[in-house]
Amino acid sequence: LSGYCRMEYGVGTFNGTVALHLALLALGIKKGDEVIVPNLTYVATANSVLYTCAKPVLVDSDPRTWNIDPDKIIKKITKRTKAIIPVHLYGHPCDMEPIMEIAEKYNLKVIEDAAEAIGAEYKGKKIGSLSDISCFSFYGNKIITTGEGGMCVTNNEELAEKMRFLKNQ
């Protein structure tokens, strides 16, 4: 999957929620931090933030796409904001270009929740290749299923090694 997404490293997980949690831990998200998440998604996205003792900050979705509205992200950024988790819903990619511009401007990490978007593309790039870490789920209702399981993909060797270490502890 990492090769398919044109990413260097893949780390298998027990499920998609674990993938999200592991990505947040690898990026150093901790108590007192805030992570921006869409208000329309499966609860695992916000729960994974809570598992790190950080605070999920909900951002409204675009009524046309149901994905997080990039125009509403900036209003939710505070000095405690450390990351954004855009969720590609129902195979439809988020508008990643403005999200990545916001992340760069405010020095935020981006974790793609790509659980429902294996195979989708955004401006000619595979979903899962557009952020610091991308997370997938292979649960029974996903595009590719193994009954359960998940994966994180990244181009950062240090993050991949950290995730491999943390998942085995």
User: 30, 79, 142, 162: which is the annotated catalytic residue?
Assistant: 142
The reply to whether 31 belongs to the active site is no
Could you give the CA distance from residue 49 to residue 37 in angstroms, rounded to a whole number? 9
Strands 109-113, 133-137: pairing is: parallel
Tokens of 116: 């429902």
Which positions are catalytic? Answer: 142
